[in-house]
A and B are shown apart, each in its own frame.
Chain A
Amino acid sequence: KNEVEQSPQNLTAQEGEFITINCSYSVGISALHWLQQHPGGGIVSLFMLSSGKKKHGRLIATINIQEKHSSLHITASHPRDSAVYICAVNSGSARQLTFGSGTQLTVLP
C-alpha cells in the first residue's frame, strides 16, 4: 500500500470551475509539499504545510493532521493551470520524502 495516495488520478474541468485535489497519507509527518509539473517542464514547489491553510493567488492548500489529509484547491481555474500536481510528505523519521503518483489536471477553455 502506498504511503501517499492522491485522488483523483485525472481531472478535467471547464475554465472557471473550482477544483479540489486530495492527498491522504498513512505516516506521521513534519511537513507536506504540493508541487506542480507542467508538460515537458520541471517541477516547482507550490506550498509547504505543517498545519492549517496557506493561500497564494488562486491556490489554497489545507491540511488536517489528525485525519492525515491535505487538499489543494484552485479557484477560478484557467487553462494555464493544466499540469500534474504532486503531493509529497516529509515524515521526519524517514531518510527520504514520499511522493504521490500525481494528479493530471486539464482545464478546458
Chain B
Amino acid sequence: NAGVTQTPKFQVLKTGQSMTLQCAQDMNHEYMSWYRQDPGMGLRLIHYSVGAGITDQGEVPNGYNVSRSTTEDFPLRLLSAAPSQTSVYFCASSRFPPVFNTGELFFGEGSRLTVL
C-alpha cells in the first residue's frame, strides 16, 4: 500500500551510540519531516525537507542529522544518543510544504526509541 514506511518500530540504545531511523514514501511528495512526540507535548519538528537535496532545521534539531538524496527517502540520524532523546519519532510527508496548503498529511507508524 502507498504511504510512509518508517523503521525500526522499536530501538534501545546506550548513551553515545549512533543510529539511523529510516523513512520512505512512494507518493512523490515534496515535503518530508521528522517529529518527536513526548508525553504531554504536541508533536515537535526536528528537521524537514522541501525536496531532494534541500533540508532545514525545525524546532528541536540538536543532536540529529538528516539528508535527502532522493525524493523518496529521508533518514534521521542520531549522532551520539542521549537519554533526552528517548521519545517516539514520527516521519511525515505531504505533497507541498506548509508555506502552502500542504494537502493531506501522511505519517509513518512511529519509532519508539529508548536511550539508556
Question: How many chain-B residues does the 8 Å CB contact rule pick out?
Answer: 26
A43 vs chain B, min Cβ distance (A): 4
Please indicate the chain A residues that have their CB under 8 angstroms from the CB of B110 in the complex: 41-43
Within the complex, what minimum Cβ distance (angstroms) separates B105 from chain A? Answer: 5
Bound-state CA distance A89–B108 (Å) is 19
Contact B40 A101 (CB under 8 A): yes
- Look across to chain B and name the residue whose beta carbon is closest to the beta carbon of A84: B37
Q: Which residues of A are found within 8 Å of B109, using beta-carbon distances?
A: 41-42
CB-CB under 8 A from A44, the residues of chain B are 107
Contacts A30-B100, A93-B99, A99-B43; A88 near B105 (Cβ below 8 A): yes
Point out the residues of chain A lying under 8 angstroms from B104, CB to CB. Answer: 45, 48
The DSSP consensus for interface residues of chain B is loop
CB of A107, distance to nearest CB on chain B (Å): 22
Contact (A50, B90) CB under 8 Å given A42-B107, A96-B45, A101-B41 = no
- B-side contacts of A48, CB under 8 Å: 102-105
Interface membership of A21, Cβ < 8 A: no
Bound state CA distance, A98 and B43, in angstroms? 8
CA gap between A95 and B56 in the complex, in Å: 10
Contact with A along B6-49 (1 / 0, CB 8 A): 00000000000000000000000000010000001111010010
7 contacts between A and B (CB under 8 A): A33-B102, A33-B105, A50-B101, A88-B43, A92-B99, A96-B59, A97-B45
Contacts A86-B42, A90-B102 known; 14 new A-B pairs at CB < 8 A: A4-B42, A31-B102, A42-B107, A86-B43, A91-B98, A94-B99, A95-B48, A95-B56, A95-B97, A96-B48, A96-B58, A96-B98, A97-B105, A101-B40
